[in-house]
Structure 1
Amino acid sequence: MALANLRIKLAKPEPSWQLCLLGVIGATIAAIFIILFRLAFESIQLIYLQNVDDYTSLTEIQRFITPIIATLGILLVAWVTGFKYSRSGIPFVIHRLKTAYGAIPFLNTINQFFGSIFALAGGFSIGREGPAVHIGAACSTILAKRFSLPQNSMRTLCACGVAAGISASFNTPLAAVIFVMEVILREYKLHMFVPVILASIVGSLMTHAVFGSYHEYEFFAYLVIDYAHYPWLILFGVLLGCLAKLFNVGMLAVIRVSQHQHMTVRLLVAALIMGTMGYWVPESMGSSVSAIDLILEEEMVFTLIISLLCAKMIATIGVLGLGIPGGIIGPTLGIGAIAGALMSLLVGIFFNDMRFAGDYALLGMAGMLAATLNAPLAALLTIIELADQLQLALPAMVVITSAYLTSSQFLKNRSIFLQQLEFQNLSYQPSPVENILQKYGVLAYLEDKYQIIKDTEEANLSEIIRAAPGDEQIIVHCPAEDDEPEQFKLVQYDLNQHPLEHEGPAYRLSTMPAVDSQATLSEAYFALVEMRQGAVYVYHKDPANIIGIVSFNKIRGLLTKGAI
């Protein structure tokens, strides 16, 4: 009974402590698996590297063959799952959130977990946040599946898992919340906001417990930028907007060219690209740690930095476009940092001061992330939290706005995630009607004033209708016969028949579609939309176990509420 009441409570898009508690539990499960994931690939790296993500200690041949060996591991995992569950990462999570309320297939998660461990351990230019988001979403929605919770609450739990994943990956709890709202959900709703905040806190706290209290880029020196730099910051933002457009176009071009190739061919080509880039420019391997270490050296060489930028761009576009499982945010931050180092060389010549590499690297990360993902607020908070520098806010806002406007308004660049979804024909944008109705579970509008009678003679049915209270619905149970399946039919008054032409009540029977108790009003609406009348019956687990009905008039009332 308590669980039934909980389901009814969660079917409504309202703030509730129960949903918050489920979000915390789901985030805890997600954070545990994400921490295990991170420990796994870092432990493998430390077997043959001196430091995590530092491939400069390897020889040229070792850097060339390492991605190839990792690809064989990825293909082994894909072979075990029959090469059918290769879609993964943030775009796939967005698609599942919008079309399946965040439910992630188990085998996709297996591919993402183990495939990304191989990819990150093998030096591919990918980020760990993509797998973390996927794993977090899958772990959090386990609760909704286990307890048959309404699917609208599953959507919230999925968002909680994503927030826990980002927060546990980078220790950026505030940026994780904004990322979920701005990039994943693309809306701000209070009943989802609080559980997502709590999930993000859990992810950050568990990261602290295992890896200690730290910020990813807190080693950067404090900013020394003054107002004389602001014209240069605007120019820098414009250049980053162009670079982001080039990055997105390149990524889609690789996807387009390789889409008809078998997964084995694509991943082996990706390994060759990464191995070649790693052979010539070792700092291009891994997420971005080696590249950032290089640009923070006192003596920066222009040719080395420009070659690093080209290698990092080619490697990231190639491996992600060809389907290596991993995230895009990590390498995007690296590309932005390298672009910032290049810009600092130009600015240093003008000001006769070469101290700005770290400052412009941080600003480059912010601008590149904002322009690539079309997420300016998430980019701003990400960099502030990663560097633990609040004074970064104002110059970062200048770079982010100029980069974002250049990319989105002048170059018509859109979020790389949404472009990937469109190119792969994965829907992510429900209709306005669906968008409203998916927020309500059918249990929120359940009507329980009804009686079920056996299929009977018309005369007897007339008597039953006369005796029934005015607000009670009559449902006729028609058992399965021959080729006819079992049906439930709703008794409706037929206003088209003249009352003087019939001795009893003028009525007709309309077949009621069945809807699971986990469903939202969206499923109920589309089951009735052609008839534009009648009702669906709601069952729990067994289609014969009716727990209530939802009428079309109730749904229409919700859609037209407040209409003039």
Structure 2
Amino acid sequence: MIISIATIRKHLALPKTSWQICLLAIIGGAASALLVVLFTLTIEEIQQLYLIKRDNYNSLDEVSRFHLPIIGSLIILLMAWLTGYKYIRTGIPFVLHRLKVAHGIIPFKNTLNQFWGSAVALASGFSVGREGPAVHLGAACSSYLGSVLKLPYNSTRTLCACGIAAGIAATFNTPIAAVIFVMEVVMREYKAHVFVPVMLASIVGSLITRSVFGTSHNFQHFNTIALEQQHYFSLILLAIVLGILAAAFNKYLVVIIKKSVKYHIVPRLILAALITGTLGYLVPGAMGTGTSAIDISLTNNLPLGFLFSLLIAKLLMTMFALGLGIPGGIIGPTISIGAITGALVGAVVIQVLPGEHVSSDFILMGMAGFMAASLNAPLATLLAVVELSGQLELVVPAMIVITIASIVSRQLCKNESIFIMQLDAQNLLYRKPPVEESLQNIGALAVMKDNLLILEQASPRTIIGELLHSHESQLVINKEPTSETDQLNNYYWAQLDVEVVDDESEDIEHNLANKLILHKLIPLSHQVTLAEAYLALVEQRSGAVYIYHKDINDCIGLVTFEQLRIYLLEGKLN
């Protein structure tokens, strides 16, 4: 049996798990993962022109390390100029914002700037990560599928979340952490009808990246951890340091964002390039997304002074690159900052406590603690570190570090998620009232009353007669515009403001003429959710909106304020 696209759209408007949304999640996830793989290959191809090994900027001479970020910033500015400077917002905070204000639909020019701008930034040594671009590209790709098919906005939001999961899984080959990141950081809720398609998209993303890059993870070279219970006190001290450092990192990153926002993007990116080039000239290991810094941290018997200088350089590079507007993510640098901090604390502890591999263990714990405290995403962080390292033995010590670091950062230092702080600093909307949050999960198509009886320019007597005898149908009157300023659509919903009782009078219709109410109907697209219907009716708290498909003058259904009221009070769709 052939199912029409209209039937599929109406089914997708409901907040339920279905094979239709799962199939779309797989298609969107595959497209998103392929785009992220192309993005990764683009970075590697650029770096192969001048680096011996990916992200290894130690192979460059001092002058080249200084020039490279400047050249990169000029290319980024050229692309921003070609696409229009107003489309330079990118990354995870921008995606969170678009999820709230546009159901996850991303403008194409922002995505273009994200792809090429981030590829150049990552290839030219800026301290930014790949996961921010992966989230943006995945969200844009999957939500575009929903836009092309004209799906209800609630299902487009779900597809956007699927694209994010597929993008992260394709970047790090961590499907479980990708799913939890979407639920914990992006959607900030756990719903079965979202969880299942997101999980499918994450699986597809992981399978695609494994087919291209293999099954290995970035941190599988870590040896089996050697932490014992006697080391837990040192882990607590490490967690306290990580919590305080994460709070300071978030705070000063936001300060840079707020101070620089009043300046044009050109001087901001040039300044970021000069700072990165100068620090790269002095400390080349701090350049790039952070894999080089982690490799350096794993080296045995490094001087404490060197590790401290590497940490300071990495902190400054990351804060100024992201704070001044270089396109890229923050998770990669936070992992490397945590690793350096762990190596620094471990170098001190190893002189006191026995354990041959304690230093590398502290690096892993540093990654987990700093990332969790900075992002305020403890569960996603725990699973990410476990998947990246392949070490199940670190779960208990990692939970200790993550818990304490998060408490210190959140409660004692009054820190929030860096994504939320970035949104506040950039004045981007990311919160909605709980009523709207609930209503935006349901598409208007799913609940609209489509048993319509449409009258053309009917008289009051005719309208009342139809109201009295057509109890099941919704009576809609279409009148001609009364002036040139009227919109072409002129639909009204007829209603009586009294309860009609049995009356044998033949003139009841005439007696009810003064009780007739005609509500001017507000037109809304078939893609809208109940949240848009609620906002259109909340001031008058009565009446209805009408849904149209292509032609604004073609009324295909009604959503009444009474339906919304019953749902909000009783949780029932009427």
Q: TM-score range by the shorter chain?
A: over 0.9
For normalisation by structure 1, the TM-score amounts to 0.97
Q: Which position in structure 1 is the counterpart of 2:435? A: 433
The residue type paired with residue 440 of structure 2 is Q
Distance 1:259 1:354 in 2: 48
Distance 1:456 1:197 in 2: 53
The answer to whether residue 258 in structure 2 is matched with residue 256 in structure 1 is yes
**Deviation of 1:457 (Å):** 3.0
Mean alpha-carbon deviation: is it higher for 402-411 or for 287-296? 287-296
Distance 2:147 2:361 in 1: 47
Distance 1:110 1:479 in 2: 46
CA distances 1:479-498 after superposition (whole Å, capped 9, x unpaired) = 23432223100111033999
From 528, 536, 549, the counterpart of 2:537: 528
Distance 1:194 1:352 in 2: 46
Correspondence list, 1:151-162, <5 A? 151-162=153-164
Mean alpha-carbon deviation: is it higher for 352-361 or for 112-121? 352-361
**Deviation of 1:298 (Å):** 2.2
CA distances 1:20-76 after superposition (whole Å, capped 9, x unpaired) = 110010011101110000000111001100001100000110000000001111001
| Equivalent position SS for 2:64 | helix
Q: Which position in structure 2 is the counterpart of 1:492? A: 495
Distance 1:250 1:43 in 2: 34
From 108, 111, 117, the counterpart of 1:109: 111
Q: Which position in structure 1 is the counterpart of 2:511? A: 503
Mean alpha-carbon deviation: is it higher for 545-554 or for 323-332? 545-554
The residue type paired with residue 495 of structure 2 is Q
Q: Which position in structure 1 is the counterpart of 2:565? A: 556
From 110, 124, 127, the counterpart of 1:125: 127
Q: Which position in structure 2 is the counterpart of 1:168? A: 170
Correspondence list, 1:58-137, <5 A? 58-137=60-139
**Deviation of 1:535 (Å):** 1.1
Q: Which position in structure 1 is the counterpart of 2:187? A: 185
Correspondence list, 1:362-381, <5 A? 362-381=364-383
Whether contact under 8 Å (1:150, 1:517) holds in the other structure is yes
The residue type paired with residue 395 of structure 1 is P
Whether contact under 8 Å (1:345, 1:354) holds in the other structure is no
Mean alpha-carbon deviation: is it higher for 118-127 or for 421-430? 421-430
Distance 2:72 2:344 in 1: 32
Distance 1:438 1:501 in 2: 40
Q: Which position in structure 2 is the counterpart of 1:22? A: 24
Q: Which position in structure 2 is the counterpart of 1:544? A: 553
Distance 1:459 1:283 in 2: 84
The answer to whether residue 359 in structure 2 is matched with residue 357 in structure 1 is yes
Distance 2:260 2:540 in 1: 45
Whether contact under 8 Å (1:87, 1:108) holds in the other structure is yes
| Equivalent position SS for 1:538 | strand
From 424, 427, 432, the counterpart of 2:426: 424
The residue type paired with residue 198 of structure 2 is V
The answer to whether residue 294 in structure 2 is matched with residue 286 in structure 1 is no
The residue type paired with residue 301 of structure 1 is P
**Deviation of 1:289 (Å):** 1.6
Distance 1:484 1:285 in 2: 61
Distance 1:152 1:504 in 2: 41
CA distances 1:362-398 after superposition (whole Å, capped 9, x unpaired) = 1100000000000100110010000011111111011
CA distances 1:451-480 after superposition (whole Å, capped 9, x unpaired) = 1111133344344444x4212221111223
The residue type paired with residue 305 of structure 2 is T
**Deviation of 1:256 (Å):** 1.4
Distance 1:293 1:376 in 2: 24
Distance 1:145 1:483 in 2: 31
Correspondence list, 1:443-462, <5 A? 443-462=445-464
The change in CA–CA distance for 1:113 and 1:562 in structure 2 (over 3 A counts) is: closer
For normalisation by structure 2, the TM-score amounts to 0.96
The residue type paired with residue 509 of structure 1 is L
The answer to whether residue 521 in structure 2 is matched with residue 512 in structure 1 is yes
Distance 2:300 2:348 in 1: 15
Correspondence list, 1:221-240, <5 A? 221-240=223-242
- Identity value in percent: 50
Distance 1:192 1:348 in 2: 46
| Equivalent position SS for 2:454 | strand
Q: Which position in structure 2 is the counterpart of 1:472? A: 473
Whether contact under 8 Å (2:339, 2:366) holds in the other structure is yes
Distance 1:411 1:72 in 2: 38
CA distances 1:315-370 after superposition (whole Å, capped 9, x unpaired) = 00010000000000000000000000001111111125563221111110000000
Distance 1:496 1:173 in 2: 58
Structure 2 segments unaligned to the other structure (5+ residues): 502-506
Q: Which position in structure 1 is the counterpart of 2:504? A: none
Mean alpha-carbon deviation: is it higher for 326-335 or for 297-306? 297-306
| Equivalent position SS for 1:350 | coil
Q: Which position in structure 1 is the counterpart of 2:199? A: 197
Distance 2:408 2:128 in 1: 25
RMSD: 1.6
**Deviation of 1:15 (Å):** 1.0
Mean alpha-carbon deviation: is it higher for 477-486 or for 255-264? 477-486
| Equivalent position SS for 2:487 | coil
Q: Which position in structure 2 is the counterpart of 1:6? A: 8
**Deviation of 1:417 (Å):** 0.2
The residue type paired with residue 529 of structure 2 is T
CA distances 1:429-450 after superposition (whole Å, capped 9, x unpaired) = 1101001100000011111122
Distance 2:485 2:299 in 1: 79
Whether contact under 8 Å (1:26, 1:143) holds in the other structure is yes
CA distances 1:236-258 after superposition (whole Å, capped 9, x unpaired) = 10110000011001101111111
Whether contact under 8 Å (1:479, 1:485) holds in the other structure is no
Mean alpha-carbon deviation: is it higher for 554-563 or for 168-177? 554-563
**Deviation of 1:98 (Å):** 1.8
| Equivalent position SS for 2:558 | strand
The change in CA–CA distance for 1:562 and 1:38 in structure 2 (over 3 A counts) is: closer
From 295, 314, 317, the counterpart of 2:316: 314
**Deviation of 1:524 (Å):** 0.6
The residue type paired with residue 53 of structure 1 is D
| Equivalent position SS for 2:40 | helix
| Equivalent position SS for 1:532 | coil
| Equivalent position SS for 1:84 | helix
Distance 2:399 2:564 in 1: 44
Distance 2:400 2:460 in 1: 76
Whether contact under 8 Å (1:344, 1:354) holds in the other structure is no
> Would you say how many aligned residue pairs link Structure 1 and Structure 2?
562
Distance 1:549 1:386 in 2: 51
